[in-house]
Each structure stands twice: as C-alpha cells, then as structure tokens.
C-alpha cells in the first residue's frame, strides 16, 4: 500500500500466499450528496489538497474524485452522507485549515445520445457522459438524454407511510413494492431518479419520520428523461457555481425557489440586483434585490419642483453607472443556504 486511503474499513489482511476467508458484514458507506469543491485561488490548490487528505483520514465516508471547471479551475468532486455532513466538512476546512473554498451545486452523471455522425466522430462515441453541468450539450445535438436511476429501499414505522409516499411521489419516484416486515414496520421499494435524492431527500425523509426511517439505494442503470440546463444569472452574468441540470417539468418551480432563496441570502448593494433563472435564452423566473437608497431630498423644503427633479435624476444616473461597474460577490455560505429546498420560514 502506497496510500492510507487504500486501507478500507472492513478489509481483511492475511499473510502472503496464505489467503483466508474475508470477514463478512462490512459495507462501505454510500454517499448521498455530491458537490464540487474548488480553491478560491488556484495557487492554494496544493494546500487545499493536503487539507482534504488530512480531513478524510478521520472521516472515511467522504469519497473523492478529481474534477476541473472552465471558470473555477482544478478541484474535486466529493461525495457526502447528507447536507449536514457537507456543511460540517466545509466548516472544518475553513476553521481547522484556514482554507477558503468554493462549493458548487451537487450533481449526478448524466448521459446524452448524440444525433449526428459528425458529433459522434468528434466525441469518438455515440453516448457521452456529462458530469459537469457546464458541459451539458444543447438539445439540437442530442436524440435523447439519459438520467441515472436507483432502486431505493425505505424501512419506516407504519404511521409515517403516508407522508413518505407523498414525498417519494413529489420526487418523481415509481413504487415497485410495499411490504410489512412486522406489525409496526413497512418496507417500501421505489425507483428514484438519482438527481432527486442527491441534495436533500435523506434530510427530508429523516425529518418527516422523526428520524426513524432508514434509506438505502442500489444502482439501477439509466432511463430516458426530458432534461434541461438551468442557469442562474446575477445582473445578466451567469453564476458558474449554481448551474444545474433539472427535469423540464420541475424547471419553473426549482428556478423560482432558487431565485427567492438567493434574494434572501444576497446582501443589498447600492445598485439593484436582478436575479434570474434561465433555460437557454428564455427567462423562467426573476427576483430583484432592491438598492439602498439615500434620501437626496432631505435638504429640500419647499422650493421649486425642478430642483428636486434635478437631484433625483443625478441620483438615478449614479445608480445606473454603479450597476455597470459593480461586481456582485456571492458569499460562500449562500451556496448551502440556497440548496436547502425547505426554507426555514
């Protein structure tokens, strides 16, 4: 072994050329949430790499894969057990290792079946896998999109069954089986699209069932789906970290919810901020963060109306100029707040 990560919990070690029966019953923890993590400055890459390696030594449930983004540079795609796990990991990176990182939206690997022979020649295969939402191909280039599905097993006390079934239906799940294990417990089997469970399904399930329900899933291949890429724009500029791939039927509601949560999270500026969700060139949702406003008429009492109009016009011109040159910095904790679909209101 050259690396500590090669030693997994549950491994059985034996003498050379004297194999033994491995100990049964060990299963590695399955990640429930995947997110991209990038250093704010690429010169910090090595420091962040060693910080992540040290953290994962005493938290073996985090899975790591190297990743890169056009806008954010080199980074990693990490798998976590839930949103809280991701939040704690991020806080530990900042507090224990002074690492400032950018987190991106959790995603799953999609597939696209290319339509033209020219594109197949370019990509050297008919079916391409898309891990980064920024590389999601346009509908005109593709005959169909495929999304990963999983067979989920939920075991819950029977008094929570109704609530959990409603939650599963809201996540586009298809019921496969329902079985009573004993007088009080039910086992439900559902076929879930993976992107419906990676963000906060586990958290929602636990809160609905007062923490009693358990959830496990196994890979069930891919199925066709109507998928679209949704961009979040701030004053017309795309926020790379919040680009997501969503199902066409849910695009409007997800876009509206993300814009509303961003409106609550973003600090106000001296100029107006337009928050928009778009699919291609079509805007599907919009919220506006109002600008701070100084009362320029405070020193005017009575007098001619043209004087007041002159002051207001000058203020409006200043705001317009500020909006052109002002950059909007998205606070790092905004990302996790935006992801929590159940707002704390």
CA distances from 38 to 25, 32, 46, 99 (A): 36, 20, 11, 10
Q: Are both 202 and 233 inside the same structural domain?
A: no
Q: How many separate domains does the chain show?
A: 3
- Indicate if 297 and 249 belong to the same structural domain: yes
> What is the domain-level CATH number for residue 136?
3.30.70.240
Q: What is the 3 state secondary structure string of 233-252? A: EECCEECHHHCEEEEHHHHH
SS (H, E, C) 106-131: CCCCEEEEECCHHHHHHHCCCEEEEC
In a domain, 266, yes or no: yes
**pLDDT level of residue 342 (50, 70, 90 thresholds):** very low
Asked whether the predicted pLDDT for residue 343 surpasses 60, the reply is no
223 touches 206 (CB < 8 A) = no
Element (H, E) at 332: helix 332-339
Asked whether 277 and 232 are in contact (CB, 8 A), the reply is yes
- Cα 62 to Cα 29, 30, 82, 341, distances in angstroms: 9, 9, 10, 23
Which range has the worst mean pLDDT, 204-208, 217-221, 316-320?
316-320
Same domain, 35 and 68: yes
Is residue 11 assigned to a domain?
Answer: no
Residue 70 pLDDT more than 70? no
Domain containing 91 equals 29-103
Residue 18 placed within a domain:
no
Domain presence at residue 233: yes
Residue 34 CA: distances (Å) to CA of 54, 64, 81, 330: 19, 10, 9, 21
Residue 190 bridge partners (DSSP): 152, 175
Q: Is residue 10 part of a domain?
A: no
Give the residue from 225, 247, 273 where a domain finishes.
225
In this structure, what is the dihedral angle of CA atoms 275, 280, 282, 287, given to the nearest 10 degrees?
Answer: -10
Q: What is the DSSP letter of 70?
A: T
Same-domain check for residues 98 and 133: no
Residue ending a domain, among 103, 123, 158, is 103
Residues 337 and 242 in one domain: yes
Q: Is residue 16 part of a domain?
A: no
Residues 177 and 217 reside in one and the same domain: yes
Residues 239 and 327 in one domain: yes
Residue 98: which CATH number?
A: 3.30.70.870
What is the average pLDDT across 114-141?
A: 78
* Tens digit of each residue's pLDDT (9 = 90 or more) over 174-208: 898 889 988 889 999 999 888 888 777 888 888 88
pLDDT for position 345: 36
Q: For residues 109 and 132, what is the distance between their CA atoms, to the nearest angstrom? A: 8
Whether residue 323 sits in one domain with residue 236: yes
Does any domain span residue 9?
A: no
Model pLDDT, residue 16 = 85
Distance CA 226, CA 247 (A): 6
% of the chain beyond a pLDDT of 90? 3
Please give the model's pTM, rounded to 2 decimal places: 0.66
Quick one: average pLDDT of 118-122? 76
CATH of the domain at 256: 3.30.70.2570
DSSP code, position 105:
-
Residues 209 and 303 in one domain: no
Burial group, residue 345, by CB count within 10 angstroms (0-12, 13-18, 19+): exposed
> How far apart are the C-alpha atoms of 24 and 13, rounded to whole Å?
13
- On whether both 128 and 47 belong to a single domain, the answer is no
Phi, psi of 241 (to 5 degrees): -70, -20
Q: Within this chain, do residues 326 and 238 fall inside the same structural domain, yes or no?
A: yes
Domain end point (choices 184, 210, 225): 225
Could you give the percent of the chain with pLDDT greater than 70? 90
Identify the CA nearest to 271 among candidates 288, 296, 295. 288
Q: Is the pLDDT of residue 340 over 80?
A: no
In the predicted structure, residue 341 carries a pLDDT above the cut 60: no
Q: Dump pLDDT digits (tens) for 261-315.
A: 888 877 777 777 888 889 888 888 888 888 777 777 777 777 788 888 888 888 8
Question: 43: Cβ–Cβ under 8 A, 6 or more apart, which residues?
Answer: none
Measured N-to-C along each axis, helices 201-208 and 83-97 cross at an angle, to the nearest 10 degrees, of: 120
E strand or H helix that includes residue 101:
strand 101-103
**Integer Cα distance of 193 and 145 in angstroms:** 13
pLDDT score, position 189: 92
Conformation bin of residue 124: beta by default, left when phi > 0, alpha when psi is -120 to 50:
left
Tell whether 114 and 191 lie within a shared domain. yes
The per-residue pLDDT of the chain, averaged, comes to 81
In a domain, 334, yes or no: yes
């Amino acid at each position: 072994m050259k690396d500590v990560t090669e030693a997994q919990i549950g491994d059985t070690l034996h003498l050379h050329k004297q194999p033994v029966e491995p100990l049964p019953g060990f299963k590695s923890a399955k990640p429930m949430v995947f997110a991209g993590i990038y250093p704010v400055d690429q010169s910090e890459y090595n420091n962040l790499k060693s910080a992540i390696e040290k953290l994962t030594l005493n938290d073996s449930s985090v899975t790591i894969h190297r990743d890169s983004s056009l806008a954010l540079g080199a980074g990693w795609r990490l798998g976590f057990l839930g949103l809280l796990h991701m939040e704690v990991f991020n806080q530990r990176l900042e507090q224990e290792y002074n690492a400032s990182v950018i987190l991106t939206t959790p995603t799953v690997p999609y597939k696209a079946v290319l339509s033209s022979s020219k594109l197949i020649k370019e990509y050297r295969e008919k079916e391409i896998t898309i891990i980064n939402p920024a590389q999601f191909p346009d509908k005109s280039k593709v005959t169909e999109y495929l999304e990963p599905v999983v067979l989920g097993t939920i075991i819950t006390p029977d008094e929570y069954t109704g609530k959990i079934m409603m939650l599963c239906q809201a996540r586009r799940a298809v019921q496969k089986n329902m079985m009573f294990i004993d007088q009080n417990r039910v086992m439900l089997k559902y076929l879930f699209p993976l992107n419906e469970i990676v963000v906060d399904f586990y958290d929602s399930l636990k809160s609905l069932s007062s923490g009693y329900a358990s959830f496990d899933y196994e890979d069930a291949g891919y199925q066709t789906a109507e998928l679209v890429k949704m961009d979040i724009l701030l004053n017309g500029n795309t926020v790379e970290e919040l680009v997501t791939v969503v199902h066409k039927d849910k695009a409007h509601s997800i876009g509206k919810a993300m814009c509303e949560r961003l409106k609550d999270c973003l600090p106000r500026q001296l100029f107006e901020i337009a928050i928009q969700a778009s699919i291609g060139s079509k805007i599907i949702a919009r919220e506006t963060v109002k600008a701070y406003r100084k009362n320029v008429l405070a020193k005017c009492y009575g007098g001619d109306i043209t004087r007041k109009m002159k002051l207001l016009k000058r203020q409006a011109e200043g705001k317009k100029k500020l909006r052109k040159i002002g950059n909007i910095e998205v606070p790092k904790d905004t990302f996790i707040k935006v992801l929590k679909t159940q707002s704390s209101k």
